Amino acid sequence: MELLNSLLFDYTLRTVALGAATLGIVSGALGSFAVLRRQSLLGDAMSHAALPGVVIAFMLTGSKTPVILLVGAAVAGWLGALLMNGVVRNTRIKEDSALGIILSVFFGFGLMLLTFLQRNPDARQAGLNSFLFGQAATLLISDVIPMAILGTIVLLLVLIFWKEFKLLSFDRDFAASLGYPVAWLDVVLTSLLVLAIVVGLQAVGVVLMSAMVVAPAAAARQWTDRLGVMVFLAALFGAIAGVGGAMISSLGSGLSTGPVVVLVVSGIVLLSLLFAPNRGLVWNWVRQQRDRRKLRLQSVLTNMYYLAEQHDDMAHPHAVTVLQAMNFGQGGVRRSLHVLRERGLVQESSSGFWALTAEGVEEARQLIDSRRAGKGGDR
Amino acid sequence: MTERRFAIEVEDLTLAYQDKPVLWDIDLHVPEGILMAIVGPNGAGKTTLIKTILGLLKPAAGRITIYGKPFVAQRKLVAYVPQRGSVDWDFPTNVLDVVMMGRYGRLGWVKWPGREDRELAMEALRKVGMANFAHRQISQLSGGQQQRTFLARALVQDAQIYFMDEPFQGVDATTERAIIQLLKELRAAGKTVVVVHHDLQTVSEYFDWVTLLNVRRIASGPVSQVFTEENLRLTYGGKVAFLSKTAVSQSTPDTLQPASSGG
């Protein structure tokens, strides 16, 4: 409650939360497209590639104004993406290797520049380090406003070209056959991803920003089968993780925001993997158990039918032990019988002896017929 | 024959990956209103050929025209059914949505599909027997249903020429019959259909025109004239034993016509 209170009334915390929410929404939305196009790692490469841009922007201007540094980051990230495309298209190096190359070359170069600056007696460069792991607590409202403007532009463009981006992501060749300039659409979508990453760099840092691209989208995919809902959920999860992470890191002194945000978003992913309907692991397990129970009921019922068929009287009672022998290895015969009795399909004529009711006979006959039909219909 | 209109004309088409030729000096004249199969062994360049005609791949040399004009000017006359396996069927969308993508070419930029597009999409789904699956998530479709969805998407393109890349690949017998029925309806409506096909046994039953391809164009023409043992041997390199049974024998073309009661 106290946290909520300070979220609403504490100026610094509110600024931080706003910034973190913006970055979460934008990276979640754009990340959805990256994940669906199997380009999750592109985000990773581009955020790492942004580091030398930040440092060079500082070296050229001597200014630590976030907007200038972020322009540097965007240019470097974009160059990285472009170079990667060039490597894939013009050499025999495959996409995954190209990603690795661009990531390590750019990031290594950035780190080298950073350590070079640190050896300098000039103290002005202090703070550039926070671009590695992010420092949301230092966000000012003057940082958040450009972030929000940029983020809004990015989201608007996604909305305007929604149909085109969807088609591009689902079936690139078909889009090309319709006459859409898919190479340009690729560039636009990738550029928007770069901008989304840049929006979050200051708060989360270049090393862990990729998690904000991939994780919310991966979690959102678990909950829905519709692109629109997925993008919306990814934005929501991103915002929750951003705000949650920024809040927690601002409580402790010296906690970098990036790692905390990543922990929160990992929690969301874990919950989604486990509990999402249809796709979640727990859901699958429950469904499997239900199917197994249903099968067990059917098998007890049909076995009783086969037994009864051997006698003239369909209501002839049989010992539980016989049924247990027939359902060997499946267990739960007694429990199945009780369930079947509740449905009025069987009755216990004397202790340990069970018989089909008239309804049970009918039900079992239908089951056996449908099974035969199923087999026969298979050509 | 000469006054017949050509739907597709390809001249001296050559395409290479690095320095390995994939298509070599292809000439093709496809008349209007026929069902044509493109057959050839794996790696013969069948898919590459239709992708190149569709402008998806850039040829090293050659000229391609659709009804006498370059493809770019005639794009709206052409519909395309890519290989089923070329997309991710776990993409978060439903059948109706995929079919409506066929309308995007006519819609143009930014405009969203409206009620008319939706009705056309439903109509196409009815034609392929998928109307009940309109709102089904595409990851829950069988192979045959995926293929019908793609066909419906091509139908809403309302084109004159249809290119289909292995539409019979891995589909059940019912779907295969449904597709053939559809192809015949298209031909009856005066459309031209070009199909990359794998099953030599059914060529003479399903198609009336065939192109035999193995990097070079081995032969192209009416099935009864060019689908011969000799040409098949040239295409497949003598490795196929059952050829003599499936091919139209040059000496007695009539005795080997497909049975009228196809199954």
Q: What is the CATH number of the domain that holds A174?
A: 1.10.3470.10
For A171, list phi and psi in degrees, rounded to 5.
-150, 85
Clarify whether residues A248 and A361 are in a common domain: no
Residue type, B174: T
B224/A66 Cα distance (integer angstroms)? 74
Structure tokens belonging to residue A252: 């402790």
Clarify whether residues A332 and A234 are in a common domain: no
Mean pLDDT of A93-117: 91
| A174 touching B (Cβ < 8 Å) | yes
The 8-class DSSP code of residue B112 comes to: P
For the stretch A48-87, pLDDT in tens is 999 999 999 998 998 888 889 999 999 999 999 989 888 8
In chain B, residues with a C-beta closer than 8 Å to the C-beta of A230 are 92
B220: left (phi over 0), alpha (psi -120 to 50) or beta: beta
Q: What's the confidence (pLDDT) of residue A106?
A: 95
Determine which of B50, B56, B99 to mutate to test the interface with A (most A C-beta atoms within 10 Å). B56
Determine which of B78, B88, B141, B172 to mutate to test the interface with A (most A C-beta atoms within 10 Å). B88
| A169 touching B (Cβ < 8 Å) | yes
Clarify whether residues A244 and A308 are in a common domain: no
| CATH for A312 | 1.10.10.10
Q: What's the confidence (pLDDT) of residue A27?
A: 94
The parent domain of residue A368 ranges over 283-378
Clarify whether residues A232 and A289 are in a common domain: no
Q: How many CB atoms lie within 10 A of CB B12?
A: 12
| Total of domains in chain A | 2
Q: What's the confidence (pLDDT) of residue A290?
A: 87
Task: Kindly list the residues of chain B whose beta carbon comes within 8 Å of any beta carbon in chain A.
Answer: 51, 54-56, 72, 75, 78, 80, 82, 86-88, 91-94, 98, 101, 104-105, 107, 109-113, 137, 139, 153, 173
Nearest CA in chain A to B157: A178
Clarify whether residues A61 and A181 are in a common domain: yes
Min Cα distance A177 → chain B (Å) is 6
Clarify whether residues A53 and A142 are in a common domain: yes
Lowest mean pLDDT among A160-164, A226-230, B217-221, B234-238: B234-238
Give the E-state strand segments of chain A in sequence order: 318-319, 346-350, 353-356
ipTM of predicted complex: 0.89
Nearest CA in chain B to A160: B110
- Count interface pairs A-B at CB distance under 8 A: 71
Q: Which of A243, A262, A277 is the last residue of a domain?
A: A277
For the stretch B194-240, pLDDT in tens is 999 988 889 999 999 999 999 999 999 999 999 988 888 888 886 66
Task: With CB atoms and an 8 Å threshold, state whether A225 touches B113.
Answer: no
Q: How confident is the model at residue A377 (pLDDT cuts 50, 70, 90)?
A: very low
For the stretch A236-280, pLDDT in tens is 999 999 899 888 887 776 777 888 888 999 999 999 999 988 888
For the stretch B133-161, pLDDT in tens is 999 999 999 999 999 999 999 999 999 99
pLDDT in tens, chain B (263 residues): 445 579 999 999 999 887 788 999 999 999 999 999 999 998 899 999 999 999 999 999 999 999 999 998 999 999 999 999 999 999 999 999 999 999 999 888 888 899 999 999 999 999 999 999 999 999 999 999 999 999 999 999 999 999 999 999 888 888 899 999 999 999 999 999 999 998 888 999 999 999 999 999 999 999 999 998 888 888 888 666 555 555 555 444 443 444 333 33
| A167 touching B (Cβ < 8 Å) | yes
Q: How many CB atoms lie within 10 A of CB B132?
A: 10
Clarify whether residues A155 and A238 are in a common domain: yes
